[in-house]
Amino acid sequence: MEESLTGILSLQTPELSRKTGSEESDMYFELPATPPEQINPAVLAYLGDAVYELLTREFLLHRQQEHSRKLHNKALLLCSAVGQAKAMRALLPLLDAEEQHQFKRGRNAALSVTKRDNPTVHCAASGLETLFGYLYLKKEQERMLQLFSICVQTCLPEEEIAKAE
């Protein structure tokens, strides 16, 4: 057992280093040189799901000091497939051509959908996640925050947004 752990630990892995001392946010690690446009949309959606969830949690945590169950329930309004599809309907007319292209790549990607899920909703949510993954890799944090703000306004009830301000 110890030998296998030593073998795993000695494997060559890409070094993860935080960028510091620049004007960019330090939430970025050194990323692979592959342009985001060439990354599989399912992989962008995988990353975008995490980015979107983190934005949601940070928004709720910094603005609404509540019990974790309430925070979770509010996060569901933004992070569920239904919430993401609703947000995407509001965002779509505001996207530039490249952002629309990335959304469509994610929406049209071959993804597995369970029988109980609505495929249209699931595909729209995957498109939103792909878009956020793409924007993250392009380091377009300001644009991500602009779009996320619209998602919040679309998915959270007005009284919840008022509490957050």
Q: How much is the pLDDT for 67?
A: 84
Angstrom distance (rounded) from CA 25 to CA 136: 11
Note whether 39 and 137 are within 8 A (CB): yes
Domain total of the chain: 1
**% of the chain residues with pLDDT over 70:** 73
Which of 26, 49, 96, 117 is catalytic? The answer is 49
Would you say residue 11 lies in a domain? no
Would you say residue 37 lies in a domain? no
CA angle 98, 100, 105 (to 5 degrees): 95
Judge whether residue 82 has pLDDT over 80.
Answer: yes
Q: How much is the pLDDT for 117?
A: 75
Check if 96 is active-site.
no
Judge whether residue 88 has pLDDT over 70.
Answer: yes
Instruction: Return the CATH number at 54.
Output: 1.10.1520.10
Q: How much is the pLDDT for 92?
A: 96
Which of 34-43, 69-78, 89-98, 110-119 bottoms out in mean pLDDT, i.e. has the lowest? Answer: 110-119
Would you say residue 116 lies in a domain? yes
Would you say residue 104 lies in a domain? yes
The pTM of this model reads 0.79
Residue among 116, 114, 118, 104 nearest 45 (CA): 104
